[in-house]
Amino acid sequence: MLTLDKFEEAAETVRKVTQETKLVYSDFYSAQTGNKVYLKPENMQFTGAYKLRGAYYKLSTLTPQEREKGLITASAGNHAQGVAYAAKCFGAKAVIVMPTTTPLIKVNRTKNYGAEVVLFGDVYDEACEHAYKLAKENGYTFIHPFDDLAVATGQGTIAMEIFKELPLVDEILVPVGGGGLATGVSTLAKLLNPKIKVIGVEPEGAGCLKASLKAGKVVTLDRVSTIADGTAVKTPGEKIFPYLSKNLDDIITVPDEELVVAFLDMVENHKMVVENSGLLTVAALKHLEDRKKRVVAILSGGNMDVITMSSVVQQGLILRDRIFTVSVLLPDKPGELCHVADVIAKQNGNVIKLEHNQFVSINRNDAVELRITLEAFGTEHKRQIMQALEQNGYKPKPVRTIM
């Protein structure tokens, strides 16, 4: 049972290895949503995510014999680092099975904590199946990343910290992969205040909990597809499903495009790097129907490799019309390029890239294509630039930008 006594015990235990992540009031998101929005920055934990809470508390409940046999788990990265760090604290061997798609930063950091890393499968579920096989073959103690009541209790300590800082909190948004974090947070929140609303947030391409709640039982998705790798789970936890069914008030699903924009907003307005899974709650803020509520969005982690970060930033700029590509046709004669450039310059557009295609027409004197990738201030500025090109005799056509 997940009881107040156990949550209090877990809170005392995890305090030994966690950093204080005080709530951050967000003027930006509060103004956007009409609510008082607070961020719980678990991306600032030593291992870069909340997962250390559940891993360390779980290990503290094991017998010395169970730890001596060696520990094994499967994870897309954050639980891996949590178990690896906790195992190091307890002097235990740790083997971590990670999907082959796991970002390099998570793989390397897990190794740096002294764990042995095995890469297997494309998604978490395949890695987990392989981890169970290795556990049986080698006698390791398996530490499940979410379908474990002790792990969920450790994760739930986040809710206790939220209530201590913001006793009158109305709503808590929590990311959902397999459901461990949502179980701990929602269960403790309801114990402390039955009237509070706890909403789970899943990526649209991996909505296993929403499908399970709709079916009234745990179901497995055929496939998952999302940039939120930390929540790319096909099946929610069996043991924790009754708690999720009882304590979650709603589930919101978020498309990947909204996570991309949320990353850009978070970097620009809060100067924080939050991984895609951690941004689920931020992206969900605009989907809330309530107004004038005290809302806490849990930022579950910040472990993102630089290549992914670069791609997300670029795509975010494109989605916000801060970068766009336009195609114009012009005669192939001296001065035409200068004329186009002058029109753009007068509108304060900044040219990033030019592509000149002479073979768009048989008659080059009639027309060649010029593709211009531009930097703008946003949608309204983009419209002004397009309008200016139109007024100067060009017929600009938007082109899907590929960075």
Domains of the chain as residue ranges with CATH: 4-50+154-317 (3.40.50.1100), 53-142 (3.40.50.1100), 321-399 (3.30.70.260)
Task: Clarify whether 51 is annotated catalytic.
Answer: yes
Using DSSP, state whether 371 is helix, strand or coil. strand
Q: What's the full length of the chain, in residues? A: 403
Residue 228's nearest CA partner among 321, 126, 308 is: 308
Could you identify the residue written with the tokens 């597809």? 225
CA 187 to chain centroid, in Å, comes to 22
Q: Where are the beta strands (DSSP E) in 99-249?
A: 116-119, 141-142, 171-175, 197-203
- List the catalytic residue out of 26, 60, 212, 300: 300
Q: pTM score, two decimals?
A: 0.86
Task: Clarify whether 225 is annotated catalytic.
Answer: no
- List the catalytic residue out of 40, 51, 197, 210: 51
pLDDT tens-digit map of 300-349: 999 888 888 888 888 888 888 899 999 988 877 788 888 888 999 999 99
Query: pLDDT of the chain along its 403 residues, tens only?
Result: 799 999 999 999 999 999 999 999 999 999 999 999 999 999 999 899 999 999 999 999 999 999 999 999 998 788 999 999 999 999 999 999 998 988 787 888 899 999 999 999 988 888 999 999 999 999 999 999 999 999 999 999 999 999 999 999 999 999 999 999 999 999 999 999 999 999 999 999 999 999 999 999 999 999 999 999 889 889 999 999 999 999 999 999 999 999 999 999 999 999 999 999 999 999 999 999 999 999 999 999 998 888 888 888 888 888 888 999 999 888 777 888 888 889 999 999 999 888 877 666 656 556 788 899 999 999 999 999 999 999 988 889 988 765 4
Q: Are 398 and 323 in contact (CB under 8 A)?
A: no
Q: Pairing relation of β-strands 350-357 and 368-375?
A: antiparallel
Q: Where are the beta strands (DSSP E) in 171-231?
A: 171-175, 197-203
The encoded tokens of residue 296 equal 């806490």
pLDDT tens-digit map of 168-204: 999 999 999 999 999 999 999 999 999 999 999 999 9
Using DSSP, state whether 240 is helix, strand or coil. coil
